[in-house]
Amino acid sequence: MRSVAFLRGINVGGHNKVPMATLRARLTDAGLRDVKTYIQSGNVVFSVGSDLGGHSCPRTLIQTALRGMIDADVPVVVRTADALAQLAAACPFPAAELDPRQLHLGLCTEAPDPERVRTMDPDFGRGDRYEVAGESVYLHTPGGMGKTRLTSAWFDRNLGVQTTFRNWRTLTKVLEMAKA
């Protein structure tokens, strides 16, 4: 089964530098198969091997491998390719009509408490829109991600879980890689 791991906060602003070739090699050595990466921001497509080296799931295996490379705990979110395809198909915003750089999928480390979701301010984004659906956040930022008030930190604080975002172009590309 093909899956995708999204690593948060690596190779950003010179912090948490992780060479993708080294990451691919480490993850392969740790038990993942057919490991591929897309751009430097931490998108890893892989298959699960028969031995995860004593780890209960790919997420913990990847987090352990990263700890061996950098001195930081990096949030890691893993979804199967099928689950990602379902999330893409369920987008509440018209993905085909929007600039893929302005449409984003946020992936949460776990499902947020529904009460926290209910009490979020829907107008905080000042024209930017979001919708929380299970362990995911759909986000449309017409002015661009760099100008929105709806940052990962804002979602983390309001949802009580860690979230990492990818634009629709990246999401589409990793889905293509996972299906290939």
Give residue 171's domain range: 82-179
Question: Tokens for 121?
Answer: 């301010």
Q: Domain ends where: 15, 49, 81? A: 81
Look at residue 51 and tell me whether its pLDDT is greater than 70: no
Q: Please state the rounded mean pLDDT for residues 28-52.
A: 89
Judge if 96 and 74 occupy the same domain. Answer: no
Look at residue 54 and tell me whether its pLDDT is greater than 60: no
Judge if 35 and 55 occupy the same domain. Answer: yes
pTM here is 0.92
Judge if 77 and 150 occupy the same domain. Answer: no
What's the confidence (pLDDT) of residue 169?
A: 95
What's the confidence (pLDDT) of residue 52?
A: 61
Give the range among 1-15, 95-109, 127-141 with minimum mean pLDDT.
Answer: 1-15
pLDDT 10s digits, 91-133: 999 877 889 999 999 999 999 999 999 999 999 999 999 999 9
Judge if 76 and 133 occupy the same domain. Answer: no
Please, which pLDDT band fits residue 71 given cuts at 50, 70 and 90?
Answer: confident
Judge if 173 and 126 occupy the same domain. Answer: yes
